Chain A
Amino acid sequence: MSNNIYIYIGIMAAVTYAIRVLPLTLIRRKIKNTFLKSFLFYVPYVTLSVMTFPAIIEATQSPVAGAAALIIGIVLAFFGANLFIVAAACCTTVLLLELFLS
Chain B
Amino acid sequence: MKKEKTSHSTYRIENNKKAFLSGLRDGFPIALGYFAVSFSLGIAARQAGLSAFQGFLASLLNNASAGEYAAFVLISANAPYFEVAVITLITNARYFLMGCALSQRLSPETPLRHRLLLGYDLADEIFGITIAKRGYINPYYTYGAVTIAAPCWATGTSLGIIAGNLLPSRAVSALSVALYGMFLSVIIPPARKNKILAGLVALSFAISLASSILPLISDLQNGTRTIILTVVISSAAALCFPIKEEIAEEEKGEK
Contacts and interface: CB of A to CB of B under 8 A. Distances in A.
Contacts of A78: 188-189, 192
Contact of A16 (B49, B50, B62): B62
Contact of A45 (B32, B125, B176, B204): B204
Nearest to A38: B238
A27 B128 CA distance: 20
B99 A91 contact: no
B248 A94 contact: no
Interface stretch (B1-9, B13-21, B158-166, B225-233): B225-233
Nearest to B129: A83
B131 interface: yes
Given A43-B98, A49-B187, A60-B177, A20 B234 contact: no
B95 A87 contact: no
B217 interface: no
Contacts of B118: 24
Closest 4 pairs between A and B when the two form their complex, measured CB to CB: A84-B29, A21-B119, A23-B99, A49-B204
Given A11-B85, A59-B177, 17 more contacts: A9-B57, A12-B58, A12-B61, A13-B62, A19-B96, A20-B122, A24-B122, A35-B238, A43-B98, A44-B186, A69-B177, A69-B180, A76-B185, A78-B188, A87-B181, A90-B181, A91-B177
20 contacts: A3-B75, A3-B81, A11-B85, A12-B88, A24-B106, A34-B243, A38-B243, A39-B237, A42-B237, A44-B101, A45-B197, A48-B128, A49-B183, A50-B204, A54-B209, A55-B222, A59-B177, A70-B184, A90-B181, A94-B174
